[in-house]
């Protein structure tokens, strides 16, 4: 039998913890977002379909992106127990300077289309967190705007080689003059990938007001208020464009770029040079022999060649081949701090986030980017503690097992 009694007020008082009402709805929704996937769901509600799908989608059947994310899900962590992990250090040197986290913001195009604060929000948030920010050639803020938004930040510039080489290198010169210390040369876009969501949405730059887009805008008036009451959306590094994204890429980008061109770019740039878009061990060796400061294993977030190699699967082989000669960085598929820890354990010196940052931007502007960085940073520190390590240097391949889902068929 259980003895029952009437509770008195003294017993109830500690349980009655009513929160004060919050009138800052943006702060509330960002505080309640506990994962990058939570930010993605908020972003989808608040952003027109064409803009959201440009960020969220990839090429053709979107197999590459799904496989990249699945590869991180297929990680088994192997923790060590009974280690003092009261403190952890989540930073170390990348390309000769300290970063406070082993990730930075990847270059993304058309960023102000996702949310009007765009690259300025990303650069300022990255500077506040002590991590690098990368500005895309296809960005909607100029190198000068980014330098002004984050004067104390570590800013990198991403270069696509155009058919007009003089204009390409003029951008590089402007980046150097603005204090950008690293050049990311993207090498996996000889032509545009088949981004079918964009084609089906009829996406143009800037967005077009059509019956379809107007209907889509009705539940998202705040996006259109921002879009229509701020500076017109345009590329900060090139003339205004009124066609589709694929038409723009195919008109501008040079499919004749070779290793000789990469060597020439290296001779022109005074800072660190990183090659983005390496997808084989052989190419990793070749760009390393060219003397680059780092390479990024990347399939462009699955946005170019569908069924491309999975960067995270390539990582151990590339680190074995060139890790002693250059830094190996990685992007594509990262959605959590645990993903980043797994990459570092397998030899990545650094990682880059693209969609994860943009989900935060769409969910809440600068504050949303801050929240995305905070979520990943907390997850990194927690994962390190649970693995029994105090610093990134202590992470080793033994901490990670890559479970096999896609195994190449052995040829007879």
pLDDT at residue number 6: 80
Q: With a cut of 60, say whether residue 407 has pLDDT above it.
A: yes
| Listed residue (380, 384, 334, 383) closest to 357, CA to CA | 334
Rg of the chain taking only CA atoms, in angstroms: 23
245 and 198 Cβ atoms separated by less than 8 Å? yes
Instruction: Count CA within 13 A, CB hemisphere, residue 324.
Output: 2
Q: Which of 1-10, 59-68, 185-194, 372-381 is predicted least confidently?
A: 1-10
* Region 231-246 average pLDDT: 63
Greater confidence (363 vs 169) lies with 363
- Model confidence pLDDT, tens digit, residues 297-322: 999 999 999 999 999 999 999 999 99
Residue whose tokens read 């080489």: 165
Q: With a cut of 60, say whether residue 116 has pLDDT above it.
A: yes
Ordered alpha helix ranges (H), 21-117: 25-32, 36-46, 49-56, 63-73, 111-114
Query: What integer best gives the mean pLDDT of the chain?
Result: 90
pLDDT at residue number 164: 76
Q: Which of 24-38, 130-144, 348-362, 395-409 is predicted least confidently?
A: 395-409
* Region 351-380 average pLDDT: 98
Q: Which domains does the chain have, with CATH numbers?
A: 25-402 (3.20.20.70)
CA dist., res. 327 & res. 288, Å (int): 9
Question: What is the pTM for the complete model shown?
Answer: 0.92
Q: With a cut of 70, say whether residue 87 has pLDDT above it.
A: yes
Residue 114, both tokens: 């996702």
Q: With a cut of 70, say whether residue 393 has pLDDT above it.
A: yes
CA dist., res. 142 & res. 294, Å (int): 25
- Please give the biggest Cα pair distance in the chain: 88
DSSP state, residue 85: -
Q: Which residues are catalytic?
A: 300
Residue 332, both tokens: 């594509």
């Amino acid at each position: 039998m259980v003895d029952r009694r009437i509770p008195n007020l003294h017993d109830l008082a500690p349980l009655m913890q009513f929160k004060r009402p919050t009138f800052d709805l943006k702060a509330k929704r960002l505080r309640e977002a506990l994962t990058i996937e939570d930010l993605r769901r908020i972003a989808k509600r608040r952003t027109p379909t064409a803009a959201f799908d440009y960020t969220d989608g990839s090429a053709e059947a979107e197999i590459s992106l799904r496989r990249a994310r699945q590869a991180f899900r297929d990680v088994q962590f192997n923790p060590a127990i009974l280690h003092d992990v009261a403190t952890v250090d989540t930073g170390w040197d990348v390309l000769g300077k300290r970063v406070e986290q082993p990730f930075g913001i990847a270059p993304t195009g058309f960023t102000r289309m996702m949310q009007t604060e765009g690259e300025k929000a990303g650069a300022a948030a990255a500077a506040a967190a002590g991590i690098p920010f990368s500005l895309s050639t296809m960005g909607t803020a100029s190198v000068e705007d980014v330098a002004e938004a984050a004067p104390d930040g570590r800013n990198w510039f991403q270069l696509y080689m155009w058919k007009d080489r003089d204009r390409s290198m003029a951008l590089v010169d402007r980046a150097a003059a603005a204090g950008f210390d690293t050049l990311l040369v993207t090498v996996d876009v000889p032509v545009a990938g088949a981004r079918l969501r964009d084609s089906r949405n009829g996406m143009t730059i800037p967005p077009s007001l059509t019956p379809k887009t107007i209907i889509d805008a009705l539940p998202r008036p705040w996006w259109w208020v921002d879009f229509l009451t701020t500076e017109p959306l345009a590329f900060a590094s090139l003339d205004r464009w009124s066609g589709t994204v694929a038409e723009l890429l195919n008109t501008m980008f040079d499919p004749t770029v070779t290793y000789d061109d990469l060597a020439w770019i290296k001779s022109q740039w005074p800072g660190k040079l990183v090659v983005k878009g390496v997808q084989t061990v052989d190419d990793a060796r070749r760009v390393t022999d060219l003397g680059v400061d780092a390479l990024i294993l990347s399939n462009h977030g699955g946005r170019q060649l569908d069924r491309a190699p999975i960067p995270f699967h390539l990582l151990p082989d590339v680190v074995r081949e060139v890790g002693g000669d250059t830094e190996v960085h990685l992007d594509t598929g990262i959605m959590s701090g645990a993903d980043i820890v797994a990459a570092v354990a397998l030899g990545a010196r650094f990682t880059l986030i693209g969609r994860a940052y943009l989900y935060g931007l769409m969910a809440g502007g600068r504050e949303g980017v801050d929240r995305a960085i905070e979520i990943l940073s907390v997850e990194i520190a927690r994962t390190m503690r649970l693995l029994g390590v105090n610093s990134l240097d202590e992470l080793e391949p033994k901490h990670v097992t890559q479970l096999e889902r896609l195994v190449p068929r052995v040829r007879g």
